[in-house]
Amino acid sequence: MLGLDRRIGLLFGGFVLVFAVALLRASYIQVVRGSALSEQAANQQLAEIPVPARRGAIVDRNGHTLAVSQESKTIYLTPYQLNSDGKQVEVLARILDQDPSQILDAISAGTPGYAAIAHEVDLRTAKRIEALDYEGVGSTPDSHRYYLQGALASQVLGIVNGEDQGVAGLEASYDDQLAGSAGEVEVTNDAIGRTVKRNVLTEATTGARLKLTIDSDIQQRAEEVLAGIGATYLPTGASAIVMDARNSEVLAMASWSPEASADGSEGDSWESMQNLATSSIYEPGSTFKSFTVAAAMQEGLVTPETSFNLAPSIVVGDRTIEESHARESATLTTADILRTSSNVGAVTIGLMLGSDGVTFDKWVRRFGFGTATGVELPGEETGLVIAPEDYSGSTMGNLPIGQGLAVTPLQMARGYAAIANGGILRRPQLVLRDASGRVAADDGKRVISRQTSSEMAKMLEGVFEEGGTAAGVTVPGYTLAGKTGTAQKVVNGVYSETEYVASFIGFAPANDPRIVVSVVVDDPSVGSYYGGTVAAPAFGELVGFTLPYLGVRSG
């Protein structure tokens, strides 16, 4: 047996060895791995958590809320404190209506101390998660975008994505103002994941409030009228614009597509979210004749009473232009040409501006065609206007009757507003107030004289009289002015005999215009395809609703 002293010595040596190993281990941890472990501990105990800003509300001109962000929660967790058997992840996924893999992906993308696993969680669901009392699971303030009027004006308002960023419509073009500024909170957790301290690093600020020119009631009526057109004529699309003739404020801007559901609400497809008033281009057809006549009048070439002896057709270059309805040779005044929508008459007047097209082109561009209107929406189309040097021998047989160029419905509404308001072309306006305060109305520029404007309005009244192309449309108590359009669509490079765009653009009351109304219907496939029967009655419905609603007296 070992002696007592030797056993004590061995025991002491063992203690020294263990102490030496421990000392070496401690030195290794402190000196070699100290920095990394310290950082890991800090990551586990400290987390800087973003606090999303609440987007500003969007309201109509009367203060009715169209879009608002309501309080919600972001659910986060401390990954290293998760139960290793995965049951906690399964429970969280079930409550959040997610697949467990989504949570695991969020954890992988996060840090050891913080991983956001769900955003925009409603408060009721957040309370269910908080009631679980899982270690390391918490929540921070968030917000969710709600459109309180459902799909009303959805193509104008646009949408936001999962990061609460505007990606279409006014939500996109005013994203910087609506978004506000995100904040940040530093959270300190103890060793078992309980929050022991919250320090606000940066306060979140709510975005600006946007007040629109849109009137919800007029917008609702416009969408109902388009839904009726969609159900009756089964077109590929339709748009309606109601604009204040005096200052070009847009009171309604509606789009309809076949993707709309049976109850008139819009789906979430990209097609149903397209704003056809600004993103679709079409050949305007006869509605463009008003600009041809206005240009010739302003140049002093014609008056409303100027008389023309017109053959049944006219040849320009290699093209023969005929009337939409055959007739014998006739004597028509300028007013008659607009009232009956004479193709031969409009081409004849157009040629008076010069066969080279230089003067005609000047007037086309003066009325704003070929350039964007500047309305506060992203992705606005400019249309298509060819330069005079690119004209062919027959071009001046096309352009005066609205063929061979492409426009947007909003460009046409703006042009008719200039005819209606005394001759001033203005930028259409959708926003009344933004972050900077009241948005100033566009002063515009004069394109025709007051006299020409007044004479054009009087001639366009004739469209609703006997023999006019919209003679069946009336609004009791109010005088109407406007123009029908039935334009052949270009299909595979040639004008189709079966596909048309039916439209009507006009204003009322004719003697003191208050509103401009545009209705454009793309390819009505059932029943009539004429502007006078498809679009003009819709114009009448919108005028009949809007003028009394605005308090415009009849008579």
Length of the chain: 555
Q: What's the angle, vertex CA 430, arms to CA 70 and CA 120, rounded to 5?
A: 15
Q: Euclidean distance between the first and final Cα of the chain, in Å? A: 130
Residue 263 structure tokens: 């109850």
Smallest CA-to-CA distance from 428 within 477, 372, 472 is with 372
CA distance 335 to 536: 19
Q: What's the angle, vertex CA 131, arms to CA 125 and CA 137, rounded to 5?
A: 85
Q: What's the angle, vertex CA 455, arms to CA 454 and CA 460, rounded to 5?
A: 100
Half-sphere exposure of 268 (CA within 13 A, CB side): 4
CA distance 59 to 361: 40
Question: Largest Cα–Cα distance of the chain, in whole Å?
Answer: 142
Q: Are 554 and 514 in contact (CB under 8 A)?
A: no
CA distance 147 to 251: 19
- Give φ, ψ of 165 to 5 degrees: -105, 135
Half-sphere exposure of 450 (CA within 13 A, CB side): 2
List alpha helices for 341-483, DSSP H: 343-352, 358-366, 395-398, 409-420, 450-461
Q: Are 543 and 481 in contact (CB under 8 A)?
A: no
For residue 286, indicate whether it is catalytic: yes
What lies within 8 Å, CB to CB, of 440 at 6+ separation is none
- Give φ, ψ of 137 to 5 degrees: -100, 125
CB crowding 14-42: b at 16 or more within 10 Å, else e? eeeeeeeeeeeeeeeeeeeeeeeeeeeee
Alpha-carbon torsion 530, 536, 541, 546, what sign?
positive
Of the candidates 257, 286, 341, 518, the residue annotated as catalytic is 286
DSSP 282: B
Residue 62 structure tokens: 């009367």
Alpha-carbon torsion 324, 414, 239, 250, what sign?
negative
Catalytic positions, written as ranges: 286
